[in-house]
Amino acid sequence: MDAAANSRLSSSGEQPIFTTRAHVFQIDPNTKKNWVPASKQAVTVSYFYDVTRNSYRIISVDGAKVIINSTITPNMTFTKTSQKFGQWADSRANTVFGLGFSSEQQLTKFAEKFQEVKEAARLARDKSQEKIETSSNHSQASSVNGTDDEKASCAGPADTHLKSENDKLKIALTQSAANVKKWEIELQTLRESNARLTSALQESAASVEQWKRQFSLCRDENDRLRNKIDELEEQCSEINREKEKNTQLKRRIEELESELREKETELIDLRKQSEIIPQLMSECEYVSEKLEAAERDNQNLEDKVRSLKTDIEESKYRQRHLKVELKSFLEVLDGKIDDLHDFRRGLSKLGADN
């Protein structure tokens, strides 16, 4: 429900007590079997309480069009026909309203609120009837008392006042009786309308069975379409895998092309180098000749080194031999020196004795 409609209802004394969203349907007035969508999409559906009239209404507005304006009475019944669909009959509007919710929880909340409001409407009706009965009894008692007073009195201001009050009470009693007749006529009308709506509900139940069969067919078709979608998704996955392989192959081809360009560059460099191969060969022959000369010189040097090593070995041998002879000579010399010392000590001793 839009803000403008909400404002109009609020200014008229009605306040929203519960609001939800649902798809609105009405029974086909011609066939009394098929549902006719009253809204193209989900709209706001609200319970309103009228403080001045002490009544409850279900109201829904689609743009500027009022698609539900149903006053709740104690005789109404809200019926759940599926997990997400419910309906009720409005005898005053001579139609059956249906609501399609997006979840079972929303349907349950709406049904509970309908029962609560229905009970409140019943209590309001009972209180209203009690007030009417009390007013009627009071009027009858006042009328009887007024008749007795007329019999007991003859004249005077008090009698005139009582007669005036009695006339007022008679008028009120007449109006009350007329209201009772009007309520009886309206009750009879409601019963006849209720009978028609009961028939419509039975036809609606048959329509619900038809809807269930159609729903079953749609569900089977939906399952088939889902399987088809799964197959298409699998095919899409294979296509994506092929695309990924193609992408990898493209990258590999680019890498190979890059390597080929590098090899071509290397080949060009090798060709350039092959142009200087004769020069390199002549230089290589020159270097080879020098290497052979160096090897000959090296051989001669090795021969000289071997000769020198031989001379060194012989020199070492002679040095060792000389060291042995020198050691023997030193030993003999030490002996001679010891003998000389002994001889000197003997001479010294001999000189001392002389």
Domain locations along the chain: 16-127
Cα 259-260-264 angle, rounded to 5 deg: 120
End-to-end CA distance of the chain: 167
Res. 21 pLDDT band, cuts 50 70 90: very high
The partner residues of 57 in beta bridges, in order of sequence, read 48, 71
Cα–Cα distance, 272 to 215 (Å, whole number): 83
Q: Which two tokens stand for residue 21?
A: 């969203």
Q: Which residue has the higher pLDDT, 38 or 14?
A: 38
What is the predicted pLDDT for the residue at 13?
A: 57
Q: Which two tokens stand for residue 132?
A: 């009417």
Q: Which residue has the higher pLDDT, 246 or 277?
A: 246
Closest CA to 196 of 345, 106, 320, 95: 95
The whole-chain average pLDDT of the chain stands at 82
Q: Which two tokens stand for residue 87?
A: 């309906």
Query: Per-residue pLDDT averaged across 212-216, rounded?
Result: 81
Is it the case that residue 2 has pLDDT exceeding 80? no
Cα–Cα distance, 182 to 349 (Å, whole number): 188
pTM to 2 decimals?
A: 0.40
Q: Would you identify the CATH topology of the domain 16-127?
A: PH-domain like (2.30.29)
Model confidence over 123-149: pLDDT tens digits?
A: 888 887 776 666 665 555 555 455 444
Q: What is the DSSP letter of 48?
A: E
What is the predicted pLDDT for the residue at 27?
A: 92
Model confidence over 84-122: pLDDT tens digits?
A: 999 999 988 889 999 999 999 999 999 999 999 999 888
Is it the case that residue 153 has pLDDT exceeding 50? no
Model confidence over 72-87: pLDDT tens digits?
A: 999 899 999 999 999 9
Query: Per-residue pLDDT averaged across 216-220, rounded?
Result: 82
Cβ distance 61 to 48 under 8 Å? Answer: no
Is it the case that residue 173 has pLDDT exceeding 80? no
Segment of 133-137, 159-163, 261-265 carrying the highest mean pLDDT:
261-265
What is the predicted pLDDT for the residue at 154?
A: 44
Cα–Cα distance, 196 to 193 (Å, whole number): 5
Q: Sign of the CA dihedral 90, 93, 98, 101?
A: negative
Query: Per-residue pLDDT averaged across 147-166, rounded?
Result: 57
What is the predicted pLDDT for the residue at 172?
A: 64
What is the predicted pLDDT for the residue at 44?
A: 93
